[in-house]
Amino acid sequence: MIKVGIVGGTGYTGVELLRLLAVHPDVQLTAITSRKEDGMPVADMFPSLRGRVDLAFSSPDKADLKSCDVVFFATPHGVAMAQAPELLAAGVKVIDLAADFRLKDRATFEKWYKIEHTAPELIEEAVYGLPELNRDDIKGARLVANPGCYPTTMQLGFYPLLKAGIIDAGSLIADCKSGVSGAGRKAEIGTLFSESSDNFKAYGVHGHRHTPETSAQLARFTEQKVGLIFTPHLVPMIRGMHATLYARLTKEIDNAALQALFEEQYKDSEFVDVMPFGAHPETRSTRGSNMLRLALHRPEGSNMVVILVVQDNLVKGASGQAVQCMNLMFGLEESTGLKQIALLP
């Protein structure tokens, strides 16, 4: 059994990890930390876990994280970089759901996240945890940087086109929407029910921290300079993410060949569903599951290709993807513990 610790178990990604790992056949939950909730049974905070998780939260100084095989950090940015070096030195593998190790350039990280990076020696070692694109590297990793939710949709949507060299990488556009849970489990005016319900708005239009993350990863797959315009929006729902991606074709390709390009790329990726050409994937078709669904469109009379991508921002966009990475790191079948079907209605 894999002994698992979770640092920061009271947020949405933390409880999502608990939901998935509590029924994982190869996992033993060993420690769940929360400084504020020290001593509180996990099931008291999250009744959905009654009978599944018998542990209590423990403060970080009391938790024996070094006895774990792997530790997930479901914490704000900056926490993992402070604790990861000691855990790695003790032979513990680390999966960080925050952004501490997503960017390879330290200056870029500090510019966008406004904090000093205190573990720069680990930046280069960290493996970017997008299994569909980095599967082999993840298998041998001891430190994984879990991707952001928006970047997951953008990379899996643009990748086959960039790999084939048939689009202009300098004019990529991503128009993305996320449910309110993407903002985290905290008291903030903008995410109060009365503020976010019956409302729709863009944010971060001048620049969003997921832009450099996505651009840096996409640059790995093309010799062109990547230019990405990314606009996120907040929609009045709890879970779900929808990305509408636009790319300009630079080579002639018919719709059947375009569809075949995506189907071939993801034929061995259990959690990427390439839907029929012209389909309209819905966020509810992925709710509670680790599935990402996408579909291709060609506006008539245009040299543009439109990719529609949906996922659950807390599962494939965060905790489910982290469990995928854990499975690979420990030699398990990638889909172990992640075969839940989406909830409907």
Q: Which residues are catalytic?
A: 149
| Contact (Cβ atoms closer than 8 angstroms) between residue 257 and residue 161 | no
Q: How far is CA 35 from the centre of its chain?
A: 25
Quick one: 334 exposed, middle or buried, by C-beta within 10 A (0-12, 13-18, 19+)?
buried
**Amino acid symbol at 319:** S
Q: Beta 93-96 vs 70-73: how paired, if at all?
A: parallel
The Cβ-side half-sphere exposure at 262, using a 13 Å CA radius, reads 26
The span from the CA of 259 to the CA of 252, in Å, is: 14
Spatial strand order in the sheet of 93-96: 27-33, 2-7, 70-73, 93-96, 143-145, 127-128
User: Sign of the CA dihedral 130, 131, 136, 138?
Assistant: positive
Question: Which tokens belong to 279?
Answer: 């389909």
Give the per-residue SS3 of 213-268.
HHHHHHHHHCCCCCCEEEEEEECCCCCCEEEEEEEEECCCCCHHHHHHHHHHHCCC
